[in-house]
Structure 1
Amino acid sequence: MKKIAIAVLALVSGIANAGELYNNGPVVESNGLSIIAPDASTYGFGNQTNSGNFVADDFNVTAGKSWNVSSLSFYGYQTGASGFSFTSATWSIVSGSDINTGTVVASGTSGVTNGGLAGYRVTDLTLNNTQRRIYKIDTDIADITLASGHYWLTWGLTGTAASGPWQPPTSDAREGNAQQSQVGAPFIQIEESGSGLSVELPFAVNGTVSAVPEPETYAMLLAGLGLVGLARRRARRG
């Protein structure tokens, strides 16, 4: 009967696994640098909440699973800041293929904590420049469950330094569909001013992923629980 109990626990533990659900990085390369790509000219994109500037990128919750999201991680810098200078994040999660017409399923303004220095935003000619320190910016949110589907994450940041906050693209300089809203205008796809290429933005979604068990799994779980309960009743009678 002990084996049955262990099997039941294994089924239950297989339904939920805590950790990082999605990461849209990389933020920096192995040398700790985010180097502006050839022909590019933009260090970072404005996502200053106080100016009504926000950025966004998308992610998918795969079919057959649901996510219980409990925190978000962003990456940004304030030029010239000598340490972590961020104070809050204003964010939203939007369901749908179009960020401007999708459904906001969660939003808020949350305090942030220092997730650590990720590296530096530099050019290939200024590899030792430390003016643009990229930090991981963690924020806890009220738990929200996301069913399988397509979502957008939007975010803006506030900080105490004079410049920014600024949002660096992913360090692999891959093209994508990252968006920006300036001064409250609709979101449009970001286009790097120098190269004319689209970009992706680093962020992470954290929490618990739950698989939707097959009917056979539910049957095994119920049967196992029934056997465990029967064994306990017999033990009491004995």
Structure 2
Amino acid sequence: MKIIAMIPARYSASRFPGKLMKDLGGKTVILRTFEATLNTNLFDEVYVVTDSEIIQKNIADAGGNVIMSKTAHECGSDRIAEAVAFLDADIVINVQGDEPFIDKTSLSQLIEVFKEDVNKEIDLASLKVEITNQEDIENPNNVKVITDINNLAIYFSRSVIPFHRDKDISVKYYKHKGVYAFRKQALLDFYKTPMTPLEASEKIEAIRYQEIGKKIKMVETSVEAIGIDIPEDLEKAKKYLNL
């Protein structure tokens, strides 16, 4: 089973333009993410996929594998699918370009899902982390996920799910972490399918996979990623790096 990592890297970002090229301890954010992914030794190959010549040069100058997108894309899955179409791979892991501190344990757990799936019934695997703070639960920027008893995703939403009607019943809430592991064919099927109605409503790409019948296995993790979404996050990352 050939396993590769793909790091989608878009230069433009509405909340923090050019964030992937910001300096983080003498290297760019995207280069640190690439090197951290490579250093996990989990993957046969690691690629950065970008629409930016600036990012392309940064990775290529460091000797890394980088693929330039041919068309504009709305989401990371589309960008990866275009790039992976002609690559030899069985499992593709999507690593977020703005998370330079890779959680190797969680990535290993995602890979293990497919190693254990001998009948090839699982199309994707992804991560969830329990949240208990009410503000986090109600925040629409935090995508919530509910699963069945086998940890297969039932639905993703920016709304509070499940609804806690009976206060005598204990309820747990989980935030979806946007790290995916795909079978290659699931990616290609996603790419050739236009945006689906519920996906368009929620603006959550995972829903498109569900709307076209893909099974998503959720893996619980206790590790919160250090993502860089706003300038303040970059300062936190710099402090973390100096620990």
Task: Give the TM-score of the pair, scaled to structure 2.
Answer: 0.24
Structure (1 or 2) with the greater helix fraction: 2
Higher relative contact order (CA 8 A, sep 6+): 1
Please identify the structure whose Cα radius of gyration is greater. Answer: 1
Structure (1 or 2) with the greater strand fraction: 1
